[in-house]
Amino acid sequence: VGLRGGWRALLALGLLRVTCAEGAIPGELRTIGLRSVDDGTAVVLRLSRPATPQVAVVRGEDGALRRLHLDLPSRTTVAAGALGGGAAERPVASVRVGVVDGDHPRIVVDLDGATDYRVARDDAHATITLTVVGPKEPGASAAEHPLRKGGRRPDAPVKIVLDPGHGGDDPGAEGFAVEKAVTLDIAERLATLLRNRLGAEVVLTRDGDDTLALKERTARANAEGADLFVSIHANANTTGRLQGIETYYLDNSTDHATLRLAQMENGLDLLKPRPGEASLRYILSDLVQVGKLDESVRLARQIQRGLVGHLRREYTGVVDLGVKRGPFYVLVGAYMPCVLVETAFISHPIEGRRLARGVYRRDVAQGLFDGIARYLRDGSRRRTL
């Protein structure tokens, strides 16, 4: 964290919650359209008001993407003729709409050769765009079309982007150590473990004491076509009494402690917007990545479990603060499962001093590795079931 921020940040987050709140008035799904895009086909939903979809993935026995379910909020109605007569185009095979348990609409997208997908919300126009990535020509296999986003082959080793929090002009939290230094050290140790033991391809958003805007961090992960994004931080509070480990996934939250933490983590960019850079509010409301939420939650749980489990074997008094959701700017816009982990409180007399020691940072890296490895193992087991 960085002890910056202030009322402007809190105000922006407050406004955002009002903007995004899905209140008592049910919305209407007006049209479902299909559009050809560079790397596949986009399914565009137009609604009467902004809505948050829940996305579920159905895979075949071979692990291939077969179908996507996109559920709209409870009581959303569907306009007559919303599903136009347009023909589907690969990698979309067909689009259907139904109502689940008399409660909410589900858009079912059957897939043909899809290699990936992403979901974006544009709240200004009340649209949700589900982009299905894959080859367009019939009969073409994924192997003949190796280009995923970032130009990766589908059989490439897992690619993980690690984001050491803060850096350069932004030291982050300062207590018994400096956050920007410990996050880089942990990320470097973790990268070595992931490369050596999993054969993973690992990219760090910074490998020195560089200043990096928050949005450049996920932009890097997207450009790399990464499979996972993990942002590494250390926590702080003014009394020095708090301690523990917590892992976050991206969501808007009404929890005040979380908002305060998010305010600190987001502070630098919010208070010093670069010329031409969109504000947090603009980006959150206009491009909220929601497609990989389930996977982000699963990744957050495994990382939290791995880190707490490993540290408890080595140290006493390790506090598990759990998996939480929060409005972290650094996670906005990522197309892959993404989490932010607060490894320890740098301001706590015991945890902070531990964090200042290389042996503890080695153990933190090992715990993070355990969690990521378990996440990937469970994921491949699911695909082969």
Q: Is 232 an interacting residue with respect to Zn ion (CB under 5 A)?
A: no
Alpha-carbon radius of gyration of the chain: 21
> Closest approach of Cβ 3 to Zn ion, in Å?
10
- Asked if residue 91 has a cis previous peptide bond (ω within 30° of 0), the answer is yes
Nearer to Zn ion, 113 or 172 (CB): 172
Residue 239 CB, nearest distance to Zn ion (Å)? Answer: 18
Among the listed residues 101, 38, 36, 55, the one whose alpha carbon sits nearest the alpha carbon of residue 74: 101
At its nearest, how many Å lie between Zn ion and the CB of residue 235?
7
Q: Which is nearer to Zn ion, 127 or 266 (CB)?
A: 266
Residue 165 in tokens: 């929090």
Q: Report how many residues bind Zn ion under the rule CB under 5 A.
A: 5
Stretch that binds Zn ion, among 11-19, 37-45, 102-110, 227-235 (CB under 5 A): 227-235
Distance linking the first and last C-alpha atoms of the chain:
40
Integer CA distances (angstroms), 111 to 36, 67, 136, 246, 249, in order: 14, 5, 11, 37, 28
Between 42 and 368, name the residue whose CB sits nearer to Zn ion.
Answer: 368
Site stretch for Zn ion (CB under 5 A), options 225-233, 241-249, 292-300, 360-368: 225-233
Residues in the chain: 385
Of 127-156, binders to Zn ion (CB under 5 A) are: none
Assess contact for 176 and 154: CB atoms under 8 A. no
Question: Tokens at residue 39, please?
Answer: 């790397």
Amino acid identity of residue 185, one-letter, is D
The two tokens of residue 316 are 């006493």
Distance CA 347, CA 354 (A): 11
Shortest CB 28 distance to Zn ion, Å = 41
Beta bridge partners of 56: 69
Q: Nearest approach, Cβ of 180 to Zn ion (angstroms)?
A: 8
Q: Taking CB under 5 A as the rule, does residue 233 contact Zn ion?
A: yes
Question: Quick one: which segment of 41-49, 85-93, 162-170, 345-353 binds Zn ion (CB under 5 A)?
Answer: 162-170
Q: Minimum distance between the CB of residue 264 and Zn ion, rounded to whole angstroms?
A: 7
CB of 127 or CB of 304, closer to Zn ion: 304
User: What's the min distance (Å) between Cβ of 265 and Zn ion?
Assistant: 5
Closest approach of Zn ion to the CB of residue 231, in Å: 8
**Binding marks (x or -) toward Zn ion, 249..268, rule CB under 5 A?**
----------------x---
Among the listed residues 332, 129, 131, 334, the one whose alpha carbon sits nearest the alpha carbon of residue 222: 334
Smallest distance, Zn ion to C-beta of residue 82, A: 44
- Based on CB atoms, which residue is closest to Zn ion, 93 or 242? 242
Contact at 8 Å (CB) between 225 and 152? yes
Which residues, including other chains, have CB under 8 Å from residue 140's CB and lie 6 or more apart?
113
**Chosen residue from 1, 114, 232, 299 binding Zn ion by CB under 5 A:** 1
Per CB under 5 A, the list member of 50, 53, 172, 337 interacting with Zn ion is 172
By beta-carbon proximity to Zn ion, the closer residue of 40 and 165 is 165
> DSSP string covering 25-47, please?
S--EEEEEEEEEETTEEEEEEEE
**Dihedral class, residue 75 (left if φ above 0, else alpha if ψ from -120 to 50, else beta):** left
CB atoms within 10 A of CB 36: 11
Q: Quick one: which of 50, 164, 165, 367 contacts Zn ion (CB under 5 A)?
A: 165
Q: Which residues bind Zn ion (CB under 5 A)?
A: 1, 165, 172, 233, 265
